Structure 1
Amino acid sequence: MQDLSFKPKAFLFDLNGTMINDMEYHTQAWLTIMNEQLGANISYDDVKKEMYGKNHEVLERVFGKDKFTAEEIKTLSFDKEKRYQEGYFPNLELIAGLDIFLEEAKQHHILMAIGSAAITFNINFVLDGLKIRDYFSAIVSADDVEISKPDAETFLKSAKALNINPADCLVFEDAPKGVECAENAGMKCIVLTTTHKIDEFNIYNNILGFIEDYNDPIIKTLFK
């Protein structure tokens, strides 16, 4: 658990559920499409369990690998993202305390990057909608990797883009697969409890602590 002696040189952020609390809107968008358009008869909780990786991977896990053509997947993915953005836009905001945390990190000359399974379209929606793009020196999206989380590629590419050793990076995540990605990359992690329960992370050994938001006292120790 918490290791107050660790002083990271870079912060790597997942996006959904970590910087913004929007996973409910992603899940609801998929739920509507899967049940109303595709007749899956799947529950909200079951959709939530499949909410990691790229859109085509989500569809393949639920419906099988050969169910849809590439063009159909592209159309379904666009529909899902449109539904998500329309639903979430009126509530678009950073998780509490993150605005101050980003500014503090900048003042302490800590490099920051986003390493997310979100597509560039959705990352731009958040960064430009909240006007926080200038805080980040690198962005690695689903469009930039061959293999999704929990493979280490996303966070390793983020560290490489910052020219920082992976062991000197601290990852902020909200999902078990994201924590596993960080562990596979040799990185420590702080977990936001926005999406998953603490006991869902019991198998991971790289977690420094759990926080509800960025006002948690753990955050202050990172700058001392």
Structure 2
Amino acid sequence: MTRINKAFIFDMNGTMVDDMAYHVKAWYNLLTQDLDAKLSFEEVSKEMYGKNSEVMERVFGKGRFTQAEMDFWGLEKEKRYQDAYLPNLKLIDGLQQFFDAAYNAQIPMSIGSAAIPFNINFVLDNLHLHQYFKAVVSADDVAISKPHPETFTKAAALMGVAPEHCVVFEDAPKGVEAAQNAGMHCVVITTMHEPEAFKKYKNIICFIKDYKQLRIEDLI
């Protein structure tokens, strides 16, 4: 058998599951109602990247909250998100079949997400996906979030695959930028952003609405 010298790295929110609207709503309610931030729903939407503590520091400035306070409010936001999203939790169309095809082809797969383990395990446990992934890199595993490349380079190292042989699956411009900074090509899922939002990036293989028409043969 010919050895496939490729690996896949998946962002999670908006890439594996179409849940970003639930994250934005949870953040909006917490920031504006609990913490009295003067932001519109659209303004909150623009801050939806990076670690929870980074979101809070972008909104309120550094030093407003202690790390313990940011951890508390970040976890509270995730609990609200999970309660709202659980009845609708499912993979994006075609992804289960794509996972099975890649797994059967012995292509290493990992997750590289800015989510905390509490949220990653929420998806992996409820959808029974742990078997597919050789590595999981969460917000807790990196010093700097996307667009810094550490999330993806660490995932590649844990799989034992060189960065240039990795294909990243992302839905956000900052994630695509992180993949580009890591020297990786990227498939973009247009759950939250249209292709125009990614015009400045040169590492994009293709844009997809879901995984129903995507074949692993087209990526390896």
Within the candidate set 201, 204, 207, 2:204 is matched to: 207
Shift of 1:24: 0.6
Q: Does 1:23 align with 2:20?
A: yes
| In structure 2, C-alpha distance between the alignment counterparts of 1:135 and 1:118, rounded to whole Å | 18
| In structure 2, C-alpha distance between the alignment counterparts of 1:87 and 1:10, rounded to whole Å | 33
Contact 1:156 1:166 (C-alpha < 8 Å) held by counterparts: yes
| In structure 1, C-alpha distance between the alignment counterparts of 2:56 and 2:194, rounded to whole Å | 25
Q: Name the Cα RMSD after superposition.
A: 1.3
Residue by residue over 1:95-134, the C-alpha shift from the partner in whole angstroms, topping out at 9 and shown as x without a partner, is 0000000000011110000000000110000000000110
Q: Which amino acid aligns with 2:37?
A: A
Q: Which amino acid aligns with 1:144?
A: D
TM-score, normalising length: structure 1: 0.94
Identity of matched residues, %: 54
Shift of 1:221: 3.7
Q: How does 1:1-224 map to 2 (within 5 A)?
A: 9-216=6-213, 218-222=214-218
SS in structure 2 at match of 1:205: coil
| In structure 1, C-alpha distance between the alignment counterparts of 2:41 and 2:187, rounded to whole Å | 26
Shift of 1:78: 1.3
SS in structure 1 at match of 2:215: helix
Contact 2:108 2:134 (C-alpha < 8 Å) held by counterparts: yes
| In structure 2, C-alpha distance between the alignment counterparts of 1:123 and 1:220, rounded to whole Å | 24
Q: Alignment length, in residue pairs? A: 217
Residue by residue over 1:26-50, the C-alpha shift from the partner in whole angstroms, topping out at 9 and shown as x without a partner, is 1100000111111113111111111
SS in structure 2 at match of 1:189: strand
Contact 1:13 1:171 (C-alpha < 8 Å) held by counterparts: yes
Q: Which amino acid aligns with 1:118?
A: A
Shift of 1:71: 2.0
Residue by residue over 1:60-98, the C-alpha shift from the partner in whole angstroms, topping out at 9 and shown as x without a partner, is 001111111222112111110100100100000000000
Contact 1:176 1:200 (C-alpha < 8 Å) held by counterparts: yes
Q: Which amino acid aligns with 1:30?
A: W
65-74 or 136-145, which deviates more:
65-74
Unaligned runs of 5+ in 2: none
Unaligned runs of 5+ in 1: 1-6
Contact 2:50 2:145 (C-alpha < 8 Å) held by counterparts: yes
Runs of 4+ in 1 over 4 A off after TM superposition: none
Contact 2:102 2:216 (C-alpha < 8 Å) held by counterparts: no
